Amino acid sequence: MTRLFVAATLIVALAGFTPPVHARSNDLRIYFIDVEGGQSTLLITPSGKSVLIDTGWPGARDADRIAGAAKSAGLKQIDYVVITHFHEDHVGGVADLVNRLKIATFVDHGPDTEDSDQARGLYAAYQKATKSAARVVVKPGEGLPLTNIKLEFLTAAGESITSPLPGAGEANPYCYSEAPPPADTSENSQSIGMLITYGKFKFLDLGDLTKIKELGLVCPNNLLGTVSLYLATHHGGYPDNPKALVWALHPLVAISNNGARKGGNPDSWQIVHDSPGLADFWQLHYASGSDAKHNVAETFIANLDEKSDGHSIEVKARADGRFTVTNTRNGYSKKYGGM
């Protein structure tokens, strides 16, 4: 059973604070913001709460794009910023973002596990930028106190859930064909992974989790079950996104937050593309480092070249499992589920 965190530090930090009333709807809204091969995904719950997953790279570009998405969603602040791990393309934008938006609470897995000049600098900048907000360290099995939706953490700090989620736990036949995963002690393996559930709609985001950790979630038994929407792990990198994970999840739709020359590996792309029951695969960028056979049709790509205008992919999901995906570059939308 998911444990909702109510840490003492959070209670103290939020005492006397009255959250603003955001625009409400019956939809869970998800904005996959283009941060050029990093991650920044904004969730707006039906009750108006906001969760930002990662902040992209340092500098004005990504912070401006995030702030722009928040403004278009009618937000005056971000309620929770979840940092999946402390690599530059995920945490680098924090310092610039706090100068543009009020952040109520930061969520992370605890101290950076890497020890280099760059890693120490990134973590120090994060600590400095988050001093004015609450900060909570989470563990697998915990979640956020949200209304209408459930956001549960599956992995964090190298650990993962050990019991199946409701309705999951079946033996996974795809595990037997997997090559032994390489060892990984990087920050990627420490990634916070999470499942967002709104009624029958399920969205899985595992950050940059690596193959050895991914397989731990689905082998020999699939602890996760199936999902409606899958964000390709590690920007569509390989050997991450193994068949034993993706095919067991049986996603209806997949999205890759790759950059023009970051992520979008052809081997990983093929695994996701061939997943049984997949209706469509969407990409934030055309993968210039790949080939035409390993990119989806232009209709489903938000940014076609390296001179990107920062187009996003947006999702609106309903509790009955129906959802719509929209490419903001061309206005193309497609509906899924509810059949």
Residue 339: predicted pLDDT: 55
Instruction: Tally Cβ neighbours within 10 Å of residue 27.
Output: 19
| pTM: predicted TM-score of the whole model, two decimal places | 0.92
Task: Assess contact for 92 and 84: CB atoms under 8 A.
Answer: no
CB burial string 218-242: b at 16+ within 10 A, e below: bbeebbbbbbbbbbbbbbbbbbbbb
Question: In CATH, what class is 22-330?
Answer: alpha beta
Segment 53-109, tens digit of pLDDT: 999 999 999 999 999 999 999 999 999 999 999 999 999 999 999 999 999 999 999
Residue 338: predicted pLDDT: 74
Residues 284, 301: Cα–Cα separation, whole Å: 6
pLDDT at 17 over 60: no
Mean pLDDT value across residues 47-52: 97
pLDDT at 49 over 50: yes
pLDDT at 14 over 80: no
Segment 147-183, tens digit of pLDDT: 999 999 999 999 999 999 999 999 999 999 999 888 8
Residue 25: predicted pLDDT: 72
Segment 309-338, tens digit of pLDDT: 899 999 999 999 999 999 999 999 999 997
Segment 186-229, tens digit of pLDDT: 999 999 999 999 999 999 999 999 999 999 999 999 999 999 99
pLDDT at 22 over 90: no
Segment 256-315, tens digit of pLDDT: 999 999 999 999 999 999 999 999 999 999 999 899 999 999 999 999 988 878 999 999
- Please state the φ and ψ torsions of residue 213, each to the nearest 5 degrees: -80, -35
